[in-house]
Amino acid sequence: MTAGKRWVLARRPDGVPCTDDFRLEDTTLPGLQDGQALIRVDHISVDPGMRSRLSGDSYAPALDIGATIESAGVGHVIASRSQKLKEGALVWGGFGWQTHLITDGRGVQALDPALYTGKITPTSAIGLFGIPGLTAFFGLLEIGKPRAGNTVLVSSAAGTVGATAGQIAKMKGCTVVGITGSDAKCAYLKEIGFDASINHRTCGDLAAAFRAAAPKGYDIYFDNVGGEMLDAAIVNMRRHGRLVISGQIAEYNAREPRGIRHTLPFITQRLRMEGLVVYDHAVQFDEARRQMAEWVNEGKLTWREEIIEGIEKAPEAFIGLFRGDSFGRRLVRVA
Amino acid sequence: MTAGKRWVLARRPDGVPCTDDFRLEDTTLPGLQDGQALIRVDHISVDPGMRSRLSGDSYAPALDIGATIESAGVGHVIASRSQKLKEGALVWGGFGWQTHLITDGRGVQALDPALYTGKITPTSAIGLFGIPGLTAFFGLLEIGKPRAGNTVLVSSAAGTVGATAGQIAKMKGCTVVGITGSDAKCAYLKEIGFDASINHRTCGDLAAAFRAAAPKGYDIYFDNVGGEMLDAAIVNMRRHGRLVISGQIAEYNAREPRGIRHTLPFITQRLRMEGLVVYDHAVQFDEARRQMAEWVNEGKLTWREEIIEGIEKAPEAFIGLFRGDSFGRRLVRVA
């Protein structure tokens, strides 16, 4: 018997989530059966994309009321009756917002000790080497198709997805402009090699600010935001420009979808807009991780983490994402 | 000296054009100089896409006030001092709304007598074998990439672009649903092989009607309309669906761009939306025409023309396009 805690969905959020939409429960985990392992969760993630699961939409099935909030996590196997997961192993998976879980091993993977050494910490398994970094990698390379000399615009550029996409674009010989929400984040973008940055809270008209940063326009827009920002990018695209739809945080809490106003430039400028779900590239994940690890060890790729202490803070940490509070990959330390 | 007539832009339209935006002028053409030819225009086209040239926007430079309205045309060389264009030759080009013109040959092409025989009339040079048919050909095949078993939705399906795209999709083994604006046009779509048709004026909620016609959704949407119709298609697309942005008639007269509300399905359904300007494929035009001629002669590809009598009617014929008055390729007989 193991005592733990977990956050469950108390009610469906209406618009931006609030803390009352979540409830912290005490849990008691039974003893292990054959084939099972007990995981102590060390860190969990908070992700804007998880928002749609809280209310459900035509695409994402809704999480049940009372169900554990879903998220990525890293942890340790602290007891095992499983062949696959040995006691002491460092593991990651879709653990959810909880301190402990019993698993039969499905969806749980041991971290490769050869990869997670030196600069590459276990928490990066749910950051740069997890869904955010992989989304940047495949979104930029497979949909954006950067070529040397291209100009690339990235939104939410100080987040792990945006910062990774921008740094990879730099390695491919592109000029990279990042959009973010504070002067500190703009300074960070310069530090990691972005050519220019735009603070969307102070720049005034977005389309004009995008134009000022790259008067000849953009070949690629890597979008994590949607709505007005996407619209302002569309009118600044060059011929045959590619729009990578990686995230749409402006849409997640909208009671009515907002969308974009400009579709004519798709014809006049021959634009292509394409969305991705990174799991479609799952068979290439290990290859991508090896490539990114090489870049990290060569000092060409960096990332930033922001650790919030205590599972009690998970809802606040999540809600803050929609205010742009986070700076880098936001994780919650559980144990 | 040759007496003729031409339509010029009298003032810039505000919203939907009206007849007062155009003015019919008498013209007197001088004698020919060396290298020139005199063309008598037989038929001219009226095209919704031309609307943006009347007011100009960030992409299409505006036509000057007083300039001849631009359009495609077919005609005959009636006098020549040109090596390239012989007297009597049947020619086509961007002649504009006028009865006669003098040309140095640039942008004017003699029609290949081997192609324009039998069912393939000279007017088809500015219809099926002109920009509309070529737009359907390259838009469907290069962007839509139809595969046998795909389900394809086509808007403005009774027009030359839509009807051609739909018939080519059928040849590629697809199930094809056409959207059009009258029961007579719906009947025509059935006649030319569409599997189903939707009358958007009587079907009620567009998204529901699209869903009813293909409950499993669409792999390709070939869009000539934009706005609400595009939005209703987006929410009915299957995974990895392709949206071909061929025309956006709903946007051409809008004082403010309308656009679309739904961008989240680009992620959840991995959609790709891409626009085209058919001139980008100019080097392949002759090859495409030969292929389409073969289909016509095999009875697999047909088209419909609607001839309005008299150049005086050109503005009305054009304005009617935005009410959905036309049925097939609308041309104006000049001589």
Q: What is the pLDDT of residue A1?
A: 80
Q: Which two tokens stand for residue B53?
A: 């040239």
What are the start and end residues of each CATH 3.90.180.10 domain in chain B? 2-127+304-333
Cross-strand partners of B89: none
The answer, for B272 touching chain A at a CB cutoff of 8 Å, is yes
The predicted-structure confidence for A106-137, as pLDDT tens digits, reads as follows 989 999 888 898 889 999 999 999 999 999 99
Closest residue to A270, CB basis, from B261, B264, B275 = B275
Q: Which two tokens stand for residue B239?
A: 């995974």
User: What DSSP element (H or E) covers B131?
Assistant: helix B131-138
Q: What is the pLDDT of residue A57?
A: 66
Q: Quick check: A322 and A247 in contact, CB under 8 A?
A: no
- In angstroms, how far is the first alpha carbon of chain A from the final one? 18
> Can you give the pLDDT at residue B269?
94
Which residue among A58, A59, A267 sits closest to B276, beta carbon to beta carbon? A267
* B187-202 average pLDDT score: 98
- Exposed e or buried b for every residue in A158-194, given b needs 16+ CB within 10 A? bbbbbbbbbbbbbebebbbbbbbbbeebbebbeebbb
Q: Tell me: the pLDDT tens digits for A156-175? A: 999 999 999 999 999 999 99
pLDDT at A58: 52
Q: Are strands A237-245 and A272-275 parallel, antiparallel or unpaired?
A: parallel
Per-residue pLDDT averaged across B148-152, rounded? Answer: 98
Q: Report whether pLDDT(B58) > 60.
A: no
Model confidence at B49, pLDDT cuts 50, 70, 90, reads: confident
Question: For an interface test with A, which of B264, B268, B274 has the most A Cβ atoms less than 10 Å from its Cβ?
Answer: B264
| B265 in contact with A, Cβ within 8 Å | yes
Can you tell me the distance from the alpha carbon of A16 to that of A254, in angstroms, rounded to the nearest whole number? 8
Nearest partner of A42 among A111, A115, A104, judged by Cα: A111
Q: pLDDT tens digit string along B203-223?
A: 999 999 999 999 999 999 999
Q: Tell me the pLDDT tens digit for each residue of A53-83.
A: 898 765 668 899 999 999 999 999 999 999 9
Q: Is A148 exposed, middle or buried (0-12, 13-18, 19+ CB in 10 A)?
A: exposed
C-beta of residue A243 within 8 angstroms of C-beta of residue A272: yes
Residue B181 and residue B249 in contact, taking contact as beta carbons nearer than 8 Å: no
Chain B CA closest to residue A273: B273
Beta bridge partners of A76: A40, A90
Please tell me the predicted confidence (pLDDT) of residue A85.
95
How much is the pLDDT for B77? Answer: 97
Q: Does the beta carbon of B254 lie under 8 angstroms from any beta carbon of chain A?
A: no
Q: If you average pLDDT over every residue of chain B, what do you get?
A: 95
B280–A270 CB contact, under 8 Å: yes
Instruction: Report whether pLDDT(B315) > 90.
Output: yes
User: How far is the alpha carbon of A278 from chain B, nearest alpha carbon, in Å?
Assistant: 10
Rounded Cα distance, B173 and B147, in Å: 7
Q: Is the pLDDT of residue B144 over 60?
A: yes
In our burial notation (b when 16+ CB lie closer than 10 A, e otherwise), range B120-132 reads: bebbbbbbbbbbb
Contact by Cβ (8 Å): B299, B292: no
Average pLDDT over residues B124-142: 96
Closest CA–CA distance from residue B240 to any residue of chain A (Å):
9
By the CB < 8 Å criterion, does B271 face chain A?
A: yes
User: What average pLDDT does the segment B133-156 reach?
Assistant: 98
Residues A259, B259: contact at Cβ < 8 Å? yes
* pLDDT (0 to 100) of residue A138: 98
Q: Does A201 touch chain B (CB under 8 A)?
A: no
Q: CB B55: neighbour CB atoms within 10 A?
A: 19
Q: Which among B230, B261, B271 has CB closest to A275?
A: B271
pLDDT of residue B253: 79
Q: Is A29 helix (H, G, I), strand (E, B) or coil?
A: strand
A276 contacts in chain B (CB < 8 Å)? 267, 270
In B, minimum Cα distance to A247 occurs at B267
| Subunit contact B245:A262, Cβ cutoff 8 A | no
Whether the CB-CB separation of B69 and B95 falls below 8 Å is answered with no
Nearest chain B Cα distance for residue A253, angstroms: 12
pLDDT at B57: 66
Distance from CA of A265 to the nearest CA of B (A): 8
- Which two tokens mark B56? 């100009």
A200: left (phi over 0), alpha (psi -120 to 50) or beta: alpha
* Residue B335 pLDDT grade (very low, low, confident, very high; cuts 50, 70, 90): confident
State percent of chain B over pLDDT 90.
87
Lowest mean pLDDT among A260-264, B51-55, B69-73, B278-282: B51-55
Q: Is B60–A268 a contact, with Cβ atoms under 8 angstroms apart?
A: yes
The answer to whether B255 and B15 are in contact (CB under 8 A) is yes
Considering only alpha carbons, which residue of chain B is nearest residue A264? B248
Q: Does domain B131-279 sit in CATH 3.40.1280.10?
A: no
- Position B214 scores a pLDDT of 98
Rounded Cα distance between A243 and A249, Å, is 16
pLDDT at A125: 96
Contact residues, chain A, for B246 at CB < 8 Å: 267
Mean pLDDT over residues B156-178, rounded? 97
pLDDT of residue B60: 66
Residue B108 scores a pLDDT above 80: yes
The whole-number pLDDT of residue A240 equals 97
CATH 3.40.50.720 spans which residues of chain B? Answer: 131-279
Average pLDDT, chain A: 95
Mutate one of A267, A272, A277, A279 to test the B interface: name it (highest B CB count within 10 A). A267
Contact B259, A262 (CB under 8 A): yes
* Angstroms from B113 CA to nearest CA on chain A: 33
The whole-number pLDDT of residue B259 equals 93
User: Does domain B2-127+304-333 match CATH 2.30.30.170?
Assistant: no
A245–B230 CB contact, under 8 Å: no
Residue A264 and residue B277: Cβ atoms within 8 Å?
no
Q: Is the pLDDT of residue A23 over 60?
A: yes
* Length, in residues, of chain A: 335
How do residues A139-152 score in pLDDT, each as one tens digit? 999 999 999 999 99
Q: What is the CA radius of gyration of chain A?
A: 20
Question: Stretch A30-46: mean pLDDT, rounded?
Answer: 97
- Contact between chains at B52 and A264 (C-beta distance less than 8 A): yes
Closest CA–CA distance from residue A300 to any residue of chain B (Å): 29
Given CB atoms, is B245 within the 8 Å cutoff of chain A?
yes
3-class DSSP state of B287: helix
Q: Which of A238, A212, A231, A215 is nearest to A155 (CA)?
A: A231
pLDDT at A60: 66
